[in-house]
Chain A
Amino acid sequence: MKILTTLKRIPDPEQKLKFKGSGPSQTLDLSGANWVPNQFDEYAVEAALRLTENASAGNARLGEVIVASIGPKDVSQQLRAALAMGADRAILVDGKDEDLDAEMVARTIVALVQREKPDLLLMGKLAADSEDNQAGQLAAAYLGWPQATFAATIEAVEGGKALHVSREVDNGVETKRVALPAVVTVDLRIILPQAVKNGTTKPDFAYAEGPRYASLKGIMAAKKKPIEETTMQALGVQSKLRVKTTALEAPPPRKAGIKVGSVAELVDKLKNEAKVL
């Protein structure tokens, strides 16, 4: 199986955000940001690796994993980390976050899909910074492919011609079949020990939870793996921005709360002060 995965770098969600400027010209100050891979994309890389290796036979490779990112040159750091996890090669499309929206990301990814012809486009469900939750679905529609968003598990079926994807929906878990080629976007639980079954790795095999750490060998190997640098223009992407951010601000802070000394005091406050009981 040939898989194209996508990876966005985002400011570390654990770091407190800084603002600069004021009023209508206020923006985020990301000069001191610690950039990390979007967690959902790291999970997508992990899922792609699980789909393309025989974990019951020393992780023998069964396919190819390409990781693509649209971003500034520095994203090569995060791409290199994905290569160290085990991805085979990477593509870096030059772009700045400010000049991008989900539409342009999707169009760029579609151009890469048309060039690389993967069996599966595997993405994160959400960029945890801008939180659009659009790119995968847009790409699927542009490609005319089926989509399975918010994947909690993926299982190769029908001799690898299709996938069964379980998706967390509003009232439970749905299983959906998608014929390949398809777009799958992954949710959190795709990194649980038995979430991915590729039909070759023994079905009872259990991975360690989480995206894998790069081994020393992996880090060394990653240095020799190619990162292709290209541009939207070279890929023939002609999209224009469709969604523009015109202003941003910090949300109003919550009123400071208090500590109560006992359950009786708590219930009293809830009843007589907050009036919610």
Chain B
Amino acid sequence: MGNVLIFVEHAEGHVRTASLPAVTFGKQAASHHGGQLYLLLVGANVKSAAAEAAQLGAAGVLTVEDAGLGHYLAETYAPLVARVAKDKGATLVGGTATNLGKDLLPRVTALLDAGMASDVSAVLGAKQFKRPMQAGNVLTQIEVLTDVVVASVRQTEFAPAQPGGAAAPIEAVPAGALDAKGAAFVSLSTTKSERPELTDAKVVVSGGRGMREGANFKPLEEIADLLGGAMGASRAACDAGMVPNDLQVGQTGKVVAPQLYIAVAISGAIQHLAGMKGSKVIVAINKDPEAPIFQVADYGLVGTWEKSLPELKAEIEKRKAEQR
């Protein structure tokens, strides 16, 4: 019998949408652990995000606020998560497998002397989980053998928790002395975009090496905007500097599972497929009829992007006009 503690990320006063599936995971896990679900927010200024988190159906929200926690550092955050987990009698600690979660949670695992399940795609029991490995080509069932379990959660495999119901109590926990162990935040360069976040967009339009240069992504962007979608890319397109690296979809980039994934001039290497195979409908546009991407595509169009994209844009615009 133990409680469940979920680490919730926030930015600019809001809970990050990436964390919502982890809350859903937390509810499922709590039913197996027989205890309560708690959410934890850490930062320099967490009040408004904590109020949002309180709407998500947990038994309580815990906050650790300190000016020294304004920038995330695994070194300062991990001991706090571990301490709160112990204080709350948590037998499961989790969070979404974002870059931050992947950096933080193993460090928490070590501090709790726990075992960790990475990238969980389903809950089978208190300590039993499903997870993909080998670039998504194997689904495994694993069992964590320690008393306390840490889990990172695959964002695309759990529905985002919805606000509603009574607000949970919010409890502030003191930060205590922080020890960054020689680590320090230096700088962050963010790429601001008006488009939805890649990891929770309903439509993702991705370009690959065959786009040849960044300027050629323009028609892809226009189609993404027409469909209210996000932009993605292959590693090759990112490495070539055509688009920012945080657009990379795949084993080493982001895992996406939109309603519609459009892959243009992408060959379909296994490492790319690992990041988008879970999409509901996959469209591939490629000039090479033998490109492996066609093996996973629901609808494949053999042709060049130069010819296809203007047509696609016009066709979508036409249908949109008809709808009105």
Contact = CB atoms under 8 A, between A and B. Distances in A.
Contacts of A259: 289, 294, 299-302
Contact of A170 (B114, B184, B246): B246
A17 B138 contact: yes
A47 to B, nearest CB: 15
Given A251-B136, A270-B299, A138 B183 contact: no
Nearest to B146: A242
Contact of A257 (B103, B136, B203, B297): B297
Interface residues on B, range: 35 or more
A92 B143 CA distance: 28
A129 B312 CA distance: 38
Interface stretch (A171-179, A216-224, A228-236): A171-179
B159 interface: no
Contacts of B302: 259
A19 to B, nearest CB: 8
B312 A169 contact: no
Given A137-B74, A141-B110, A176 B143 contact: no
B107 A276 contact: no
Interface residues on A, range: 35 or more
A102 B270 contact: no
A241 interface: yes
A248 B139 contact: yes
Contacts of B18: 170
B260 interface: yes
B118 A257 contact: no
B192 to A, nearest CB: 9
A131 interface: yes
B160 interface: no
B102 interface: yes
B256 interface: no
A162 B134 contact: no
A128 B270 CA distance: 11
A264 interface: yes
A260 B134 contact: no
Interface in A232-261: 240-251, 254-255, 257-260
Nearest to B74: A147
Nearest to A242: B115
- Nearest 6 CB-CB pairings of A with B: A179-B182, A242-B115, A141-B110, A137-B106, A146-B183, A172-B190
Interface SS of B by simple majority: mixed
Interface string B187-211: 1111100000000000100000000
Given A126-B252, A128-B251, A250-B139, A102 B298 contact: no
A154 to B, nearest CB: 13
Contact of A243 (B11, B142, B281, B282): B142
Interface of B: 11, 18, 73-75, 78, 98-100, 102-103, 105-107, 109-111, 114-119, 128, 132-146, 180-191, 203, 227, 235, 239, 244-246, 251-252, 259-260, 270-271, 277, 280-283, 289, 294, 296-302, 308, 311-312, 315-316, 319
Contacts of A48: none
27 contacts: A13-B270, A128-B251, A131-B118, A131-B133, A132-B118, A134-B116, A141-B110, A142-B110, A147-B107, A148-B183, A150-B103, A169-B188, A170-B98, A170-B99, A172-B191, A175-B188, A178-B182, A179-B181, A189-B245, A245-B140, A259-B294, A259-B300, A260-B299, A263-B311, A270-B260, A276-B280, A277-B260
Given A137-B74, A257-B298, A271-B319, A177 B115 contact: no
Contact of A270 (B191, B251, B283): B283
Contact of B185 (A174, A182, A247): A174
A104 B166 CA distance: 44
A100 interface: no
B299 A269 contact: yes
A13 B135 contact: yes
Contacts of B98: 170
Contacts of A128: 134-135, 251
B140 A141 contact: no
A217 B116 CA distance: 43
Contacts of A274: 260, 280-281, 298-299
Nearest to B244: A172
Instruction: Identify the interface centre among A149, A168, A189, A263: most chain B CB within 10 Å of its CB.
Output: A263
A177 B190 CA distance: 18
A145 B74 CA distance: 11
A269 B239 CA distance: 33
Contact of B107 (A125, A140, A192, A263): A140
Contacts of A246: 128, 141-143
Contacts of A260: 299-301
Contacts of B239: 188-189, 192
Contacts of A25: none
B139 A249 contact: yes
A257 B294 CA distance: 8
A258 B299 contact: yes
Given A137-B107, A179-B183, 4 more contacts: A170-B18, A249-B139, A270-B260, A277-B319
A137 B191 contact: no
B103 A137 contact: yes
A17 B135 CA distance: 11
Contacts of A182: 182-183
